[in-house]
C-alpha cells in the first residue's frame, strides 16, 4: 500500500530532523508529511532543507498556531488528494517509536483503522508523572462509559487509517483538538461501521521540547464526549 506518516508540529526544531530520518529509515517506500503551524523556532526551514535531497518528504506550512485537529485534517486531505492508501499519524517527539510503523502497515491490510494502544495490555507508559497517567487512563474510561466507544485507548495519537475510511468523514467539519480530536475520529469511524483494531505499543514521554497539553484541551474533551453521544454520524456525501 502507498503509505505516508503525518506529523503535526509546533516548535519541534529539536526533534524534527531526527524524527524524519527515523521514520524514513523504517522502509524505503514510506513518505512523511510535516504539517507545521508556522513555528517561530524554524521547524519548517529544517524540513525545507531536508526536502532538497529526499522527495519522500512533504511539507504544509500553515499561517499560524491553528491546533492539532485541523492540522491533521488538512494533512489527511493532502494525502488523500495524492492517492496514498495507508495514512498514519504520530507525534514528533519520539513518544511513539518509529520502529512500530511496520506493525501498523501490516495490520491495516486487514482493518480500516489501527490504533496504537497504551492500555490494551496493562499500562505501557514510560516517564509520565502519576497525575498525567491518571488523567489519560481516566479519560479513556470516561469516554468509553459515556460514548460507548469500545476502545481501551481512544485518546492515543499513534494510528493508521485506510484512505477509504477517511473519505467517509467530512474532515472540514472537525474542529476538536488533542484528546478530543482523537476520540472524535475514532467515534465517527466506529459509528460508520469501520473495522478498528488496537495493537499494543509502549509510549515514552518526549525526549525534548515542551508538551502541548493544557487545561483547555482537557475540558474540550470532557464536553465533546457528551456531544458525540447524541451526534448523528452519517458518511460524507
Over the chain, what is the mean pLDDT? 90
> Do 218 and 133 meet the contact criterion of CB atoms below 8 Å apart?
no
> Do 24 and 54 meet the contact criterion of CB atoms below 8 Å apart?
yes
Q: Which three cell numbers stand for residue 26?
A: 523504517
∠ CA 227-147-233, nearest 5°, is: 60
pTM of the model: 0.90
CA distances from residue 71 to 78, 111, 145, 168 in whole angstroms, order as listed: 11, 24, 28, 18
What is the rounded CA–CA span in Å between residue 5 and residue 159?
Answer: 9
∠ CA 126-100-186, nearest 5°, is: 85
Tell me the per-residue pLDDT of 108-158, one tens digit each, with 9 for 90 and over. 999 999 999 999 987 788 877 787 788 888 888 888 898 889 999 999 999
Tell me the per-residue pLDDT of 63-121, one tens digit each, with 9 for 90 and over. 998 889 999 999 999 999 999 999 999 999 999 999 999 999 999 999 999 999 999 98
Amino acid at each position: 500500500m502507498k503509505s505516508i506518516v503525518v506529523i503535526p508540529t509546533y516548535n519541534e526544531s529539536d526533534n524534527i530532523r531526527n524524527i524524519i530520518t527515523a521514520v524514513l529509515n523504517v522502509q524505503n517506500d514510506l513518505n512523511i508529511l510535516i504539517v507545521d503551524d508556522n513555528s517561530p523556532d524554524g521547524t519548517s526551514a529544517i524540513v525545507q532543507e531536508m526536502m532538497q535531497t529526499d522527495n519522500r518528504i512533504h511539507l504544509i506550512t500553515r499561517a499560524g498556531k491553528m491546533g492539532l485537529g485541523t492540522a491533521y485534517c488538512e494533512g489527511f486531505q493532502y494525502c488523500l488528494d495524492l492517492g496514498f492508501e495507508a495514512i498514519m499519524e504520530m507525534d514528533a517527539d519520539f513518544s511513539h517509536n518509529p520502529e512500530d510503523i511496520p506493525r501498523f502497515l501490516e495490520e491495516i491490510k486487514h482493518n480500516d483503522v489501527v490504533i496504537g494502544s497504551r492500555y490494551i495490555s496493562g499500562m505501557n507508559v514510560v516517564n509520565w508523572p502519576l497525575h498525567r497517567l491518571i488523567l489519560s487512563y481516566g479519560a479513556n474510561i470516561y469516554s468509553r462509559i459515556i460514548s460507548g466507544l469500545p476502545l481501551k485507548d481512544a485518546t492515543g495519537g499513534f494510528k493508521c487509517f485506510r484512505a477509504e475510511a477517511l473519505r467517509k468523514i467530512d474532515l472540514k467539519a472537525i474542529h476538536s483538538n488533542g484528546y478530543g480530536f482523537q476520540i472524535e475520529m475514532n467515534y465517527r469511524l466506529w459509528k460508520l461501521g469501520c473495522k478498528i483494531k488496537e495493537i499494543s505499543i509502549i509510549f515514552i514521554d518526549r525526549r525534548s521540547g515542551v508538551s502541548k497539553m493544557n487545561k483547555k484541551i482537557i475540558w474540550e474533551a470532557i464536553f465533546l464526549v457528551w456531544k458525540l453521544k447524541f451526534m448523528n454520524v452519517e458518511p460524507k456525501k
